Amino acid sequence: MNFFKRAWLNVWAKKGRSVLLILVSSAILMFVLAGLLIRSAAVKATAQAKADVGATVTLSANRQAAFKQMQNSSSSSSKSSRPKMTLTPVKLSDAAKIASLDNISSYNVTSSTSVNAKSYDTVATSSGLSGGGSGGPGGMKSSTSTGDTQIDGVTSTSLATAFSSKQSKITKGRGITTADKNTNHVVIEKDLASQNKLTVGDTITVKETAGSKDKVKLKIVGIYKASATSSSSAGPMSTDPANTMYTSYTLANTFKGSKYAGTADSVTFNVSNPAKISSVKAAGKKLINTSKYALSTDDSSYQTVKAAMSNVASFANKIVWLVAIAGTIILALIVILMIRERRFEIGVLLSLGEARWKIVAQFFTEMLMVIVVAVAIAGAGGQFVGNQLGSQLVSQSTTTTQTTSVTGQHGGSGTPGGGMKGGNGGPSNLGQNAGSKTAKTDLDVSVSAVNLAELGGFGLAITFLSIMIASGGILRLEPKKVLIS
Amino acid sequence: MLKTQGLGYWYQDKAQPLFQDINLEFDVGQSYAILGHSGTGKTTFLSLIAGLDKPKAGDILLDDRSLNQIGLTNYRRHEVSIVFQAYNLFTYMSPLNNLLTAMAITGTEHAGDKAFALKTLNDLGIGADLATRNVQHLSGGQQQRVAIARTMAGDAQLVVADEPTGNLDEDNTQAVIEQFQRIAHDRQKCVIIVTHEPDVAAQCDHQYRLENKQFTKLS
Ligand SMILES: Nc1ncnc2c1ncn2[C@@H]1O[C@H](COP(=O)(O)OP(=O)(O)OP(=O)(O)O)[C@@H](O)[C@H]1O
Ligand SMILES: [Mg+2]
């Protein structure tokens, strides 16, 4: 192909012009690449955020149904002075069924109660209010009376919200694990431990508040530190957060009484793919008696992260298209100028009987040679630009995410009539969870082969379009007017 | 070989043609000079003969086939070779590549033959040293000789030139006109040259003057 040789001779002979074209094209492509990088990084980060932040489905008693039932009974038979709302504890056999569904990675059983301190003193709240408040307004009286020590029975502390959101941390010994099932192992708070000079391996005695009110010996296997934020989330009606102990849910059930064996207050399932949360909920509903139990979902943190990341992605998308269009226009103008300057050459080609499409093909080939070098340069430089832009965008999006999650938290803890037995953190913590997790979400901005291929595609398209736009000039050019003036 | 039949041309006003009803005949092995005052339409006439534009009236026939029938691009590629006053060459190439490029586009029998191109250039005084430099480093006379060499390297029977010596000094003018004569006589082509210079015209086999919209044969 003769036009190919001409293109090469021209690019080579006019090195200065070629270098300038390469620089302009590199600059355009670098911006395109930066946009591509941020977009693909946002997609990656969203996938990562799904895994990191996750979403949960919680199985608990159907509060609404119970409330309705209570109202019905009070209206039909007004003999009892005060109607009682009965909540059916969640059956662990139901939980096991739900846990076997697809997309459930793990689950945590929560069973909370309270006991009274026997061999140690509880920590008084800093405000001077002593623990053991008898339930705040809207608080529901449970069948058990309230003790001064909060017992949070869990499957494992690492799955408990307070620990997974990093608000509480094991500082000594270890947390509660599934191996602690049916043991009297306990994890106590640091302040309580230091006040009573207790350490890992020591034994404490508590007195049950329900049933036989037995004295029970507990063995300390770990000490945790509760952060300042968790104390506020505990709400006004609970004791100081330092008086919260973690045990296996089996022990909490024992404290509540024999009829609570194999039950739980609630079971939280971690959904591995948050996008599937509604189908998980639907499948779970088929497995339970919905008049007694309810399945609630929480993917707010996932949604927040997803929204923030899709903002970044759509912004990057706009950058890509804007730059591509602007680049096409700029290159087209340059090519038009180039063609004007080369009208004698085009005239000679036409007078030799060269086909016009081959002249266009020559210009296209020349630009293609330029673009190939420009893609390589942009590939190297785009890494730098992408890094700068990426970190800028992430710091912005993280700020928005955190703001959103804080608002979410207020909403959560503000729900009245919430906590069973003095609110054990509960869903309000999930909001904070989102904040802390997103802060870690980094945009991995690195040039992959796919990015380079995409960039090449854009380069090709920009070249093609700009030559097409400019070639109108070549196709209209009359050799007579060019050469005879 | 080449005939014009009732040829006429005007730019804007049909009532004011540059020339009209022109019936001329050009043959191979002959050289023709076209003289005339500035603005009479010599270049316009040449552009019609070269297939760079279409006549407004009448027809041009190559071996009794109308140029329209042959197709202008096809005609330019295979039948005619043009030498302009300037800007004949690809500035980003050497003389050798200029010849090879033209030979490739027109598809002559020697296409791709580097030795043939070098020999053609050498015949016109462009040695191997000059032949491989960029053409921009050649003098005006040398450049014009490269353009003529390009014409000689092709198969086209018809060679048209618009003031090919317009930018040249006396010596170069003489050298160039001698080459055109050789093209006509040795290569048996038909050479048509538009020129202002009576000396140049006098060396051609036939002379015409464009005057009052008509071509007058001087000799
Ligand atoms: N594209 C055009 N549109 C309108 N008029 C034109 C155009 N090209 C040339 N002319 C006019 O046509 C006339 C003939 O032009 P042409 O170039 O053929 O003359 P010429 O004989 O070659 O003159 P010169 O000896 O100066 O080269 C001139 O008056 C010129 O102004
Ligand atoms: Mg002229």
pLDDT tens string A123-171: 886 544 443 444 334 334 344 457 889 999 999 998 888 888 788 999 9
Interchain contact, A348 vs B91, CB within 8 Å: no
Interchain contact, A353 vs B87, CB within 8 Å: no
Q: Rounded to whole angstroms, what are the CA distances from A38 to A317, A385, A451?
A: 9, 10, 10
Please state, in angstroms and rounded to a whole number, the distance separating the CA atoms of residues B88 and B136: 11
Answer yes or no: is the C-beta of B39 below 6 A from any ligand 1 atom: yes
Helix axes B170-185, B140-153, angle to 10 degrees: 10
Mind listing the domains of chain B with CATH numbers?
A: 28-43+74-217 (3.40.50.300)
Please state, in angstroms and rounded to a whole number, the distance separating the CA atoms of residues A434 and A406: 9
Please give the helix or strand (H or E) that residue A233 lies within, else none: helix A228-233
Answer yes or no: is the C-beta of B42 below 6 A from any ligand 1 atom: yes
* CA–centroid distance, residue B163 to ligand 2 (Å): 7
Interchain contact, B89 vs A348, CB within 8 Å: yes
- Domain membership of residue A426 (yes or no) is no
Of the residues A242, A264, A298, the one at which a domain ends: A298
Q: Residue B194: phi, psi to the nearest 5?
A: -90, 130
Ligand 1, residue B194: give the atom nearest the CA.
22
Q: Are residues A46 and A172 in the same domain?
A: no
- Domain membership of residue A116 (yes or no) is yes
Q: Residue A91: phi, psi to the nearest 5?
A: -85, 130
- Domain membership of residue A221 (yes or no) is yes
Average pLDDT over residues B114-122: 94
Where in the sequence is the domain holding A242, given as residue range(s)? 55-298
DSSP at A424: -
Tokens of A331: 């290159």
Residue ranges with CB less than 5 Å from ion ligand 2: B 43
- Domain membership of residue A434 (yes or no) is no
Q: Are residues A342 and A244 in the same domain?
A: no
Please give the helix or strand (H or E) that residue A247 lies within, else none: strand A244-248
The pLDDT score that the predictor gives to residue A42 is 75
The pLDDT score that the predictor gives to residue A403 is 46
Q: Are residues A224 and A250 in the same domain?
A: yes
Q: Which amino acid is at A147?
A: G
Interface of A with B in 1-20 (CB under 8 A): 2, 5-6, 9-10, 13-14
Interface of B with A in 41-70 (CB under 8 A): 43-44, 46-47, 50, 52-53
In the predicted model, residues of chain A with pLDDT beneath 70 are 49-52, 74-85, 125-145, 228-239, 386, 389-445, 483-485
Contacts with B90 from chain A: Cβ below 8 Å: 6, 9, 345, 348
The pLDDT score that the predictor gives to residue A430 is 35
Q: What ligand is nearest to the CA atom of residue B210?
A: 1
Q: Is B28 exposed, middle or buried (0-12, 13-18, 19+ CB in 10 A)?
A: middle
The pLDDT score that the predictor gives to residue A224 is 95
Among protein residues, the one whose CA lies closest to atom 28 of ligand 1: B39
Q: Are residues A162 and A241 in the same domain?
A: yes
Average pLDDT over residues B46-73: 94
Q: What ligand is nearest to the CA atom of residue B13?
A: 1
* CA–centroid distance, residue B200 to ligand 1 (Å): 22
Among residues A422, A9, A413, A26, which one has the least CA distance to residue A232? Answer: A413
pTM, two decimal places: 0.68
The pLDDT score that the predictor gives to residue A77 is 54
The pLDDT score that the predictor gives to residue B212 is 92
Computed over every residue of chain B, the mean pLDDT equals 93
The pLDDT score that the predictor gives to residue A397 is 57
Among residues B184, B168, B216, which one has the least CA distance to residue B34? Answer: B216
Contacts with B97 from chain A: Cβ below 8 Å: 9
Ligand 1, residue B36: give the atom nearest the CA.
21
The pLDDT score that the predictor gives to residue A81 is 55
Please state, in angstroms and rounded to a whole number, the distance separating the CA atoms of residues B193 and B170: 17
Q: Rounded to whole angstroms, what are the CA distances from A286 to A68, A92, A96, A97, A291?
A: 22, 16, 14, 10, 12
Q: Are residues A314 and A264 in the same domain?
A: no
Contacts with B47 from chain A: Cβ below 8 Å: 480, 484
Q: Is A373 exposed, middle or buried (0-12, 13-18, 19+ CB in 10 A)?
A: middle
Q: What is the pLDDT of residues B150-178, one digit of tens each?
A: 998 998 999 999 999 888 888 889 988 99
Answer yes or no: is the C-beta of B11 below 6 A from any ligand 1 atom: yes
Q: Which residues contact A72 (CB under 8 A, 6 or more apart)?
A: none
Interchain contact, A483 vs B84, CB within 8 Å: yes
Please give the helix or strand (H or E) that residue B96 lies within, else none: helix B95-106
Domains in chain A: how many in total? 2
Complex-level ipTM: 0.92
* A–B interface: beta-carbon pairs under 8 A: 64
Q: Are residues A309 and A203 in the same domain?
A: no
Q: Are residues A227 and A93 in the same domain?
A: yes
Q: Are residues A350 and A479 in the same domain?
A: yes
Q: Are residues A203 and A222 in the same domain?
A: yes
B185: number of Cβ within 10 Å? 14
C-alpha neighbours within 13 Å on the C-beta side of residue A249: 25
Q: Which residues contact A50 (CB under 8 A, 6 or more apart)?
A: A273, A274, A275, A302, A305, A306
Answer yes or no: is the C-beta of B209 below 6 A from any ligand 1 atom: no
Nearest CA in chain A to B135: A13
